[in-house]
């Protein structure tokens, strides 16, 4: 079993002994919502990321999905998001991504100490090491050595990045999943057991990409795809109520739309597409918008959300040296790290 965190024996479980011994109807009755719960001033909806006006951009504690074509930076964005979450208590919580009016998005200030688990099915150790190094160096370029060391210790303690290509078979959903002897069922049970006994709360779990964590055919099977997304929803009940972010490939014919079953987005609470921004030129060859430094502008657009506005947009650039920078269109002449 992969060492993805030091277990703690007395941690909260997804289901308590009392729940196991009570009847389904008793549990149903105990969950009735009364007016005393909602007829009062309610706290803000939980968020991982908010805009400058406090509106939720990426929700907390939900199954989320980002789709995009290969090479557009989906995995790079997840590493940047996780590293920003970990460093938000030691650094200004900006993500260096903005809306169209260049207002910054930030990590929610209610995010406390906690961890991120990122499972990558395509990227190998060398590629992940390179990306993490360039991101960290960029994000800490203005810090002194003492502050850099503090940030590095936080990442070592709270950020678990695992190249699944070194593990072998990574499917946690197959067509025989209902059978407890199914290999995928065993892998899923073992993973969930370890995560339930984590020694700190989790804020984010990344599954990248979806196709590497399900067996052949499930991506296009409505029933199985929906069951897999509901399976991932179980992880949002872990200590810390993490968001589970699924990375998925876009259709070859339409980079703004994901491939496979509609049950994938139906069972996600937040869906966004990631792409470069095409110019309005008349040339036959596709051209893309760039910032003042010549870097292509990446856009993340919300296409479905139960807790924020559909159509919300985040934009940023990835310079050749690595990192994520605020789009510079000549207004400030300065990048935000």
Query: pLDDT tens-digit profile of 60-93?
Result: 999 999 999 888 999 999 999 999 999 987 766 6
- E-assigned strands of 197-242? 202-208
Pick the residue with more confidence: 102 or 144?
144
Tell me: pLDDT of 15 over 80: no
At residue 2, the pLDDT reads 44
Please name which of 135, 89, 127 lies closest in space to residue 323, comparing C-alpha atoms.
Answer: 135
160-164, 205-209, 277-281, 329-333: the lowest-pLDDT one: 329-333
For residue 14, count CB atoms less than 10 angstroms from its CB and return exposed for 0-12, middle for 13-18, buried for 19 or more.
middle
Cβ proximity of 162 and 120 under 8 Å: yes
Buried b / exposed e over 285-304, threshold 16 CB at 10 Å, is eeeebbbeeebebbbbbbbe
Q: Where are the domains of the chain?
A: 52-317
Cβ proximity of 105 and 183 under 8 Å: no
84-93, 146-155, 277-286: the lowest-pLDDT one: 277-286
At residue 313, the pLDDT reads 93
At residue 11, the pLDDT reads 40
Tell me: pLDDT of 52 over 90: no
Tell me: pLDDT of 197 over 80: yes
Cβ proximity of 82 and 30 under 8 Å: no
Topology of 52-317 in CATH?
Rossmann fold (3.40.50)
The mean of the pLDDT values for the chain is: 85
Strand duo 47-50 + 56-59: pairing: antiparallel
- Percentage with pLDDT > 90 across the chain: 50
Average pLDDT over residues 269-275: 95
d(CA 228, CA 181): 18
């Amino acid at each position: 079993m992969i060492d993805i965190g030091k277990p703690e024996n007395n941690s909260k479980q997804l289901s308590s002994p009392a729940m196991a011994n009570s009847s389904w109807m008793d549990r149903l009755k105990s969950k009735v919502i009364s007016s005393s719960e909602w007829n009062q001033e309610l706290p803000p909806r939980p968020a991982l990321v908010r805009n400058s006006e406090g509106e939720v951009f990426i929700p907390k504690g939900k199954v989320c999905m980002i789709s995009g074509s290969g090479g557009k930076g989906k995995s790079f964005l997840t590493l940047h998001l996780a590293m920003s979450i970990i460093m938000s208590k030691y650094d200004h919580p900006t993500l260096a991504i903005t809306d169209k009016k260049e207002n910054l998005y930030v990590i929610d200030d209610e995010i406390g100490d906690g961890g991120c688990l990122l499972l990558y099915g395509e990227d190998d150790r060398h590629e992940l090491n390179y990306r993490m190094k360039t991101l960290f160096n960029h994000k800490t370029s203005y810090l002194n050595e003492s502050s850099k060391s503090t940030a590095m210790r936080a990442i070592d303690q709270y950020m678990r990045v695992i190249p699944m290509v070194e593990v072998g078979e990574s499917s946690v959903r197959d067509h025989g999943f209902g059978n407890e002897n199914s290999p995928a069922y065993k892998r899923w049970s073992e993973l969930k057991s370890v995560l339930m006994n984590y020694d700190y709360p989790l804020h984010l779990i990344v599954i990248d990409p979806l196709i590497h964590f399900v067996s052949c055919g499930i991506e296009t099977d409505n029933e199985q795809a929906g069951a897999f997304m509901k399976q991932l929803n179980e992880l949002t009940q872990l200590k810390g109520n993490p968001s589970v972010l699924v990375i998925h490939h876009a259709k070859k014919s339409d980079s703004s739309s994901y491939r496979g079953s509609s049950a994938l987005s139906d069972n996600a609470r937040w869906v966004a597409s990631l792409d470069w921004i095409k110019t309005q030129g008349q040339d036959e060859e596709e051209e893309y918008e760039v910032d003042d430094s010549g870097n292509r502008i990446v856009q993340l657009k919300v296409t479905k959300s139960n807790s924020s506005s559909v159509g919300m947009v985040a934009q940023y650039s990835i310079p050749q040296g690595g990192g994520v920078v605020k789009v510079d269109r000549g207004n400030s002449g300065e990048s935000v790290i």
